Structure 1
Amino acid sequence: MTTLPTSPAPATLREPAISRLLFGDPRLAPLWLILRVYVGYEWLIAGWGKITNPAGVWVGEKAGTAVSGFLTGALAKTGGDHPDVQGWYGWFLQHVALPNAAAFSYLVAYGEVLVGVALIVGLFTGIAAFFGGVMNASYLLAGTVSTNPLLFILATWLVLGWRVAGWWGLDRWVLARFGVSEHPAAAPAELASPRRPGDAVR
């Protein structure tokens, strides 16, 4: 009788204790709250300023005006031996973003507000931080520094710590609905009534 070869058990990688402490321990939730609200506030005021701009160059009749000026300035940085804006990104700005400046204007303005609100209330924190980081990277690729390096670093940390970053926020309840974390108001039955020696195993 031929014995079929058994496949080896899949390898598992253990999470280091320092990683569990930093990115998965609710005791550090207050620290993550400070980082999350700071980044969210920066995005919220930036986006709100664009939406409420009285000239309407971001949202309104003149939507796209500000974006067109920004993109034109970025394209001017594509020349030289060591350009601030790489050629491939310059191609994207010229052939994709600039012809659709009005759409990108709305996308940026409302995207910044949505990311800001989501981070402040702690709703889908990891996803919000990811899209915030994408916007930071877009600004950096376009040759704009400002606060983008700092916010990009903090956004990366928030993505890594998504399990606990929204613990003091709506994620504490929302993520439990998706089975990502335990609902704070209900402990598992196994923890509520620990098994005693001699109990039947089910």
Structure 2
Amino acid sequence: MDGGTTTPLGGIQESEGWRAVARRYSLLPLRLFLGITFVYAGIDKLTDNAFFHTTGAGSIGELMTNVRDSAAIPALVDLALKNPAGFGYAIAFGELAVGVGILLGLFGRLAALGGALISLSLWLTVSWQTTPYYYGNDLAYLMAWLPLVLAGTPLLSLDAILAVRRRRSL
């Protein structure tokens, strides 16, 4: 009973079984979680008065200084320390763009790749020293982004609408 087809935007046809529906929509909870989390993270950084400072509690500069010697790639931290506020804004706006992109499903694979790269850079710098490794969240976020890098956002997304328009114009 898993046979059947879907509509171009991912809608369910009557002949489609529940297993096929579950399989088709299985990445949606992950997409929502990552999108909401990254939008929240970006907004949280942008609205935190201390975050963009070079020194002081809660500042990106202080965080980068503290993790420099334990980072997997200290050169990345050194690069961030050249302009901590600029790096902080890049991370905050990057998280916001990735979150909005994955929630709307606009350039879904690109948004997921951006999320994966942000998570990878944070894992190699900020949470690299976390022992055991599974206590750190950045590696888990990196792994969570990978299915969306591979699959994109084919359902309930602007990517799906654009794909239908492209097919119709051909």
TM > 0.5 fold call: yes
Residue 67 of structure 2: which of 71, 74, 83 is its match?
74
Q: Does 1:42 align with 2:25?
A: no
1:111 aligned residue: 94
Moved >6 Å (runs of 4+): none
User: For the structure 1 residues 171 and 72, does the alpha-carbon distance in structure 2 shift closer, same or farther, using more than 3 Å as the test?
Assistant: same
Range with bigger deviation, 113-122 or 144-153: 144-153
1:57 aligned residue: 51
> What is the correspondence of 1:120-139 to structure 2 with a 5 Å cutoff?
120-139=103-122
> What is the correspondence of 1:13-52 to structure 2 with a 5 Å cutoff?
28-52=23-47
Unaligned regions of 5+ residues in structure 2, if any? 1-9, 11-20, 131-135
Matched to 1:70, the amino acid is L
How far apart, CA to CA, are the structure 2 residues paired with 1:156 and 1:49? Answer: 24
Unaligned regions of 5+ residues in structure 1, if any? 1-25, 78-84, 189-202
The C-alpha deviation readout for 1:103-150, integer Å capped at 9, x for no partner, is 111101111111111111111110000010001001110141632122
How far apart, CA to CA, are the structure 2 residues paired with 1:42 and 1:147? Answer: 12
Q: Does 1:97 align with 2:80?
A: yes
1:170 aligned residue: 158
Helix, strand or coil at the partner of 1:135 = helix
Q: Say whether the 8 Å CA contact 1:75–1:90 is kept in structure 2.
A: yes
How many pairs does the alignment contain?
A: 140
TM-score (norm 1): 0.62
Q: Say whether the 8 Å CA contact 1:123–1:174 is kept in structure 2.
A: no
Matched to 1:147, the amino acid is N
Range with bigger deviation, 115-124 or 141-150: 141-150
Matched to 1:44, the amino acid is V
Shift, 1:56, TM fit:
4.4
How far apart, CA to CA, are the structure 2 residues paired with 1:125 and 1:42? Answer: 16
Shift, 1:39, TM fit:
0.9
Larger Cα-atom Rg? 1
Identity %: 26
How far apart, CA to CA, are the structure 1 residues paired with 2:69 and 2:151? Answer: 38
How far apart, CA to CA, are the structure 2 residues paired with 1:101 and 1:138? Answer: 15
Helix, strand or coil at the partner of 1:168 = coil
How far apart, CA to CA, are the structure 1 residues paired with 2:164 and 2:81? Answer: 42
The C-alpha deviation readout for 1:59-95, integer Å capped at 9, x for no partner, is xxx4x54221121111131xxxxxxx23xx212322x
How far apart, CA to CA, are the structure 2 residues paired with 1:100 and 1:147? Answer: 25
How far apart, CA to CA, are the structure 1 residues paired with 2:75 and 2:141? Answer: 26
